[in-house]
Amino acid sequence: MTAIDHVPRRGRAAARGMVWSLGQNALTTLVTLLVFAVTSRTLGAEAFGRVALATSLMTFALAAAPVAFAEALVQADRLTDRQLDALFWCAGAAGMVLYLAVCAVAMVVADRTTLPEIAWLTPVIASRVLFECFAIVPTGLLQRRMAFRTLALRQLAGVLAGNGLCLLLVLGGGGIWALALNGPATSLAGLLVLAAGAGWRPSGLASPGHLKSVARFGGFASAVRALSILRLDQLVLGLFAGPVALGAFYFANRIVQIGSGPAWGALGPVTHALLSRCRGSPPQLREGYLSAAFAATTLAVPLFGGLWLVAPIAVPNLFGTQWSEAVPVLRALCLTGALGCFGAVNGASLSAQGRVGAWFAYQSALQALRLVVLVLLLPQGIGTATMGYALAGAVLWPVATTLAARACGVSISRLFKAVAAPLLAGAAALLMSSVGVAAAAVAFVTVLTVAGWPRLGEMLRSLRSQG
């Protein structure tokens, strides 16, 4: 087994990876939330809206970048140095072309709209594309080795650098630049950690032909990623509803994204790496999926259920009364966040089994339905439009869950049994919420502990059986 293909004992690596990833996500979520509270109080909805529009342009380039080829490196049965060299240089070249293209588009948009600042905001924000492209190979190698400690440190370093710079600028009167430089600083710091931790350097130039064996999976994975990060909803709101409505949606969606960090940043990568290694063992595959589903539900129910409960009080007190009108938007997006936590597991499970095409088809249908509903309901107000947006995702969520469960050999009845404890705990918390938030929290923990103990035992036995 080469250094490229070295994999530690899967069960222990997955357990350590989950601990490292969840710990890192908890810390970075807290830091991000605190900095976001400061910037929200200092900058208004219009500033957020203008940065959101420039970010939407950048996401077209980031969506087209081959970043998801890192998943192909995890999925591949065998890798060679020539493949890694070819991917590194091809990704770097693609990143440069995409960066120049989005800068040119930004100049056209600025010239034809009343937003001239887009011309100088976009080149700064879009520099993320270059950093993310050069991080593809180191990220894929570390995920393949299940080196989640280094990946967690990468995320932590990036968030601390980006948010630290953002805080310094906003307190120093940097205004809109505090928002614009956050993303690029985060990506650059993360790239430096990856380069040091992966222990890999390109050995020379290589022909793109070496990528044939990973091209199909990487292409589909890139298409799925493009759909997930391409903020067409924000672009539609910016063009048809104006910067204030877009600012409210961006603000609420940002809070939901921060809350979803543990699922997408921890559960998704760990599930994908673990299940990719369990393809030859159906029992381990089933238990791995059920454990991930239990963890996702346990995270989503209290996180977004609690956020829905406290939003009317927390938003004006933490972020300022200027954001009170965003409360209905945030409460609607709590449903999107909860389903998204489970979606991270579904997507990782399908990709690990080579069913990335099915996940792409689902994501395409989901994005199309959400956009149609958003446009149709915009005349009724941003709150109503966002609620329709969230319900559109709920309508299609059972489809993705059924696909993922079947791909892992799990029946729907067995899946429901695995996630029943956190669902029952959530229902108990909702009943107690009339008494107070503290009572709801106690009810959730009590029911989860009693009802979820058998499932936790099965998770631990599963991890031990995988080494």
> Are residues 222 and 273 both part of a single domain?
no
Calculate the alpha carbon distances from 135 to 83, 92, 128, 361 in Å: 15, 9, 11, 27
Q: Does residue 56 sit in the same domain as residue 132?
A: yes
Angstrom distance (rounded) from CA 439 to CA 357: 44
First to last CA, the chain: 18
Alpha-carbon distance of 119 to 108, in angstroms, equals: 8
Are both 214 and 303 inside the same structural domain?
no
Determine the pLDDT at residue 97: 93
Residue 381 CB neighbour total at 10 angstroms: 15
Give the Cα separation of 29 and 416 in Å (integer). 29
Distances (CA, A) of 123 to 45, 104, 108, 158, 213: 22, 9, 13, 20, 34
Q: Total domain count for the chain? A: 2
pLDDT tens digits along 142-198: 878 777 777 777 878 888 888 888 888 888 888 788 888 888 998 899 888 888 887
Q: Choose the final residue of a domain: 230, 247, 267.
A: 230
Helix count and strand count (H, E) for the chain? 20, 0
* Residue 301 to residue 335: CA distance in whole angstroms: 10
Distance CA 90, CA 211 (A): 10
Same domain, 206 and 282: no
| 205 DSSP assignment | -
Q: Within this chain, do residues 91 and 146 fall inside the same structural domain, yes or no? A: yes
Number of Cα atoms under 13 Å in the Cβ half of residue 390: 22
Q: Which of 230, 253, 286 is the last residue of a domain?
A: 230
Q: Are residues 205 and 318 in the same domain?
A: no
Q: Characterise 79 by phi-psi region: left (phi > 0), alpha (psi -120 to 50), beta (else).
A: beta
pTM of the model as a whole: 0.67
In this structure, are residues 146 and 13 in contact, taking their beta carbons and an 8 Å threshold?
yes
How deeply is 317 buried, as exposed, middle or buried, from its count of CB atoms within 10 A (0-12, 13-18, 19+)? exposed
Cα 57 vs. chain centroid, distance in angstroms? 19
Closest by CA to 154, choosing from 168, 135, 169, 173, is: 135
Residue 445 is predicted with a pLDDT of 66
Specify the pLDDT at position 1.
Answer: 41
Q: Both 347 and 386 in a single domain?
A: yes
- What are the residues whose beta carbons fall under 8 Å from the beta carbon of 267, sequence distance 6 or more? 18, 21, 292, 295, 296, 299, 341, 344, 345, 348
Give the model confidence (pLDDT) of 252-293 as tens digits: 888 888 777 655 666 777 777 777 777 777 888 888 888 888
Neighbours of 467 (CB within 10 A): 13
Task: Check: CB of residue 122 under 8 Å from CB of residue 104.
Answer: no
Distance CA 223, CA 66 (A): 9
Secondary structure (3-state) at 199: coil
E strand or H helix at 348 = helix 327-352
67 and 142 in a common domain: yes
What is the extent of the structural domain holding 130? Answer: 1-230
Regarding whether 460 and 313 lie in a shared domain, the answer is: yes
Contact 437, 310 (CB under 8 A): yes
> What is the reported pLDDT for 193?
86
**CA pair distance 125, 134, nearest whole angstrom:** 16
**SS3 helix, strand, coil % of the chain, rounded to 5?**
85, 0, 15
- Coil/strand/helix, residue 90: helix
| Same-domain pairing of 174 and 66 | yes
- Same domain for 213 and 135: yes
317 with 463, same domain: the answer is yes
Residue 6 has phi, psi (to 5 degrees) of -65, 130
> Are 272 and 71 in contact, with CB atoms under 8 Å apart?
yes
Of 187, 205, 230, the domain-final residue: 230
Residue segments in the chain with a per-residue pLDDT below the cut of 50: 1-3, 5-7
